[in-house]
Structure 1
């Protein structure tokens, strides 16, 4: 499944279901997980099939890497690489470069297409009822789809000042592809963290929502999550001065140097202007919303062990270590619940080293140097050093999913990725879904024998995050 925006596909997932509780079943030696929709799935074991305890540590894979400390790309090469990604995807590389005006007619038509895509489909509300005209009509009214007025829309600018869900329609209530799939909200496009600059293209009739574009995704964000500013002020996001980048899976932001007055959290790879560093904490420029909705600046503080001064060097060791900092963090479709999905996981890992990957897995699968092989037929060749596959710098791409290759053990390739589930064949020859629902290390033969096949059998391509883009 995929997340759609008007311009950019956003996230992928392996399956969809609502987890509501587990009960031990000693006879099956499994955990039985019951869902509101009536389906029953089984929780995957903590130690996934084909893995060992040691494999769940970064050092295990670093010690097997042929060149863990080699610099894959330097700062200037990464700048060029990021420019190539922008050319490939067609996105605007920096918000200050956004056009001053956009066509009202074209923009309104794109919003209407988005609304009609949901109307034509069959989606369900949280109570299990089908979304009908009574659900969509108020939303349409609030979207202000009329093309009357000036021919062009004057673009405004803002910063996200608190973590924000980015929605495909201006409504908090979710829609599900089938009843009970509440953990897979079809209206959730992505999530934006504090300090993200955006172009503001439109406002809902009630003033509670704004349609915004970041450099990687578009959608509706709640009014209170934004602080408005001028175009020039958005240049601060990528200013050339001192900055701190978050290296922890999550970093709490405080309003006091004693780290007691909590404000919000930042994600791995988030970047902040650095004011000073002291034992225990760094002082950052924190962007806040004033009472009039305008941008104001204050000091914020983050624990010093959760950030790095500047980007980390792009080496396999750093990439693997960053990926393992996310180990066992929960899966979150499109950033739901403040978590991350498969593509956001990959994006956060590489952002710590200054690499700005696209938001969704299908476009990430186009980035980097392709490795020439057929994974289903030439497993050993595909994941060999001679073919260029190397842990921490090679992505493994499937339809709707993406992983980070770690290395091989006993001829079996392994990856770390953020996934929801895999399938096994039960004693009756039927598929049985096993919930993972977290960042995990798995062998790529996981799922072998099921109707969907193993990860290995479904690989579309492997790419090394380096080199020229197509």
Structure 2
């Protein structure tokens, strides 16, 4: 089924088959097999977890994992180690690299008109690739807000087809406030910067980056977390005195350094005594970087540092995103399958890559890999023995184990749709989910022939070193 393969690779889609269970249960009213509403509570799974509050990796081990994520094979780009002198070949390579930051075909625009050579040439001309100098100094900056990353310097919207509008073709990911970047080039119209991020190269709106000295940028990025966002979204306090810092959107896992401010002096027009004061980058009128204090309400869902890495916290944090709309590449102020697990673990100090493919191969994580030589029975045994927080990686998708019921593994995942063979009729049935959901694992199919377990390439184990 070619369409199923395409959607699974691009949209973390899944197909169910009742044949995966010896005695298939009835379909729930939600249209999901082997499921009841109690499974939507994190406490349901925490009660089943062995030693749910045991610390799985201590602070030293999680710091070692973060360092490994930036080492060769770890999947993250260490922007600090890139050359401060840029050559034309290097910048052109990054421009080409930005174009490859998405697997979604650039086929039609938002009216359904096919993308032809003229449109592609306009997008490429916008990169000003012909104006890259032979040599130039690198510039550095910090993201000042939640910022979309694009494969070309354009806000135009494209899709693979008009029936797949949840997956926009130029989406390359998202930058979060305080992330460091190397600025390599400027678009033809001056409205976009080619930014080399920890995720790789992409185009970012000029107004989303504040440019500053390398030592200032990396000193800020190296500061210890003073507050870590543990809710799905948290916002800074509204302040007309400092609009750039007012109601700033902070995603789960964003870690900000503490601001040392006098408790009896206002910050941006409000007393800090009932809030947490943090440091945030600000883009000044000339585009330069300044670091300013901002306030986060004490009642907001944050922590004074990374949460302990426990099974209970893995479950609690992932379930805070339950029901959130699927967001390819962090579209719609949301997450996709890899974003769900990455942000869950980021609250506990672990770095997981921005794509399921990288999560399945990163040397920063412990893996059990699977090939065609592994039998179905061996694969089923592995997932039945998998622990809370383990990641089942298949081509184009990642699912996280949350526990077992009667020996059968269950997962939480960010998934656009569910398709399964109805136990009563055997007919193919499609359930639109388009959200973070809890499902059984063993019934899931990658296509009409192969289960997700049989398609599994890696069982990644972030909680083990």
- Per the normalisation by structure 1, the TM-score is 0.82
Q: Write the distance in 2 (CA, Å) between the matches of 1:100 and 1:135.
A: 34
Distance 1:253 1:117, change over 3 A: closer
Match of 2:281 in 1: 287
Deviation per residue, 1:295-315 (Å, 9 max, x gap)? 123222222231100111111
Deviation at 1:461, TM superposition (A): 2.3
Deviation per residue, 1:337-359 (Å, 9 max, x gap)? 11111111111011111111111
Deviation per residue, 1:400-443 (Å, 9 max, x gap)? 11111011101221011111112123699764432111111110
Q: Which aligned pairs between 1:49-448 and structure 2 lie closer than 5 A?
A: 49-89=33-73, 94-112=78-96, 123-146=107-130, 149=133, 151-241=134-224, 243-256=226-239, 262-275=246-259, 280-304=274-298, 305-367=300-362, 368-371=365-368, 374=374, 376-378=376-378, 381-385=381-385, 389-392=386-389, 394-425=390-421, 431-447=428-444
Confirm or deny: 8 A CA contact 1:12 1:360 kept in the other structure.
no
Confirm or deny: 8 A CA contact 2:13 2:397 kept in the other structure.
no
**In the alignment, which of 12, 15, 18 is matched to residue 14 of structure 1?**
12
SS in 1 for 2:278: strand
Confirm or deny: 8 A CA contact 1:252 1:265 kept in the other structure.
yes
SS in 2 for 1:274: coil
Which gives a bigger RCO, structure 1 or 2 (Cα 8 Å, sep 6+)? 2
Distance 1:208 1:257, change over 3 A: closer
Confirm or deny: 8 A CA contact 2:31 2:431 kept in the other structure.
no
Unaligned runs of 5+ in 2: 3-8, 15-27, 264-271
SS in 2 for 1:330: coil
Match of 2:462 in 1: 465
Distance 1:415 1:258, change over 3 A: farther
Confirm or deny: 8 A CA contact 1:419 1:438 kept in the other structure.
yes
Deviation at 1:104, TM superposition (A): 0.9
Distance 1:332 1:72, change over 3 A: same
Deviation per residue, 1:251-291 (Å, 9 max, x gap)? 01224499999432100000111126966421111221111
SS in 2 for 1:59: helix
SS in 2 for 1:131: coil
Deviation at 1:133, TM superposition (A): 2.8
SS in 1 for 2:377: coil
Q: Which moved more, 1:309-318 or 1:101-110?
A: 101-110
Q: Which moved more, 1:336-345 or 1:49-58?
A: 49-58
Q: Write the distance in 1 (CA, Å) between the matches of 2:431 and 2:344.
A: 26
Confirm or deny: 8 A CA contact 2:76 2:353 kept in the other structure.
no
Q: Which moved more, 1:316-325 or 1:454-463?
A: 454-463
Q: Which moved more, 1:152-161 or 1:331-340?
A: 152-161
Q: Write the distance in 2 (CA, Å) between the matches of 1:349 and 1:271.
A: 13
Q: Write the distance in 2 (CA, Å) between the matches of 1:384 and 1:138.
A: 52
Unaligned runs of 5+ in 1: 2-10, 17-43
Distance 1:237 1:53, change over 3 A: farther
Deviation per residue, 1:203-247 (Å, 9 max, x gap)? 101100011111123200011111111101122344344511100
Distance 1:449 1:270, change over 3 A: closer
Deviation at 1:94, TM superposition (A): 4.2
Q: Write the distance in 1 (CA, Å) between the matches of 2:154 and 2:369.
A: 45
Q: Write the distance in 2 (CA, Å) between the matches of 1:239 and 1:122.
A: 37
Deviation per residue, 1:1-41 (Å, 9 max, x gap)? 9xxxxxxxxx952359xxxxxxxxxxxxxxxxxxxxxxxxx
Across the two proteins, how many residue pairs are aligned to each other?
426
Confirm or deny: 8 A CA contact 1:251 1:303 kept in the other structure.
no
Deviation per residue, 1:98-119 (Å, 9 max, x gap)? 320232124325535766999x
Deviation at 1:135, TM superposition (A): 1.6
Q: Which moved more, 1:89-98 or 1:286-295?
A: 89-98
Q: Which moved more, 1:135-144 or 1:455-464?
A: 455-464
Please give the root-mean-square deviation of Cα atoms over the aligned residues, in Å: 3.2
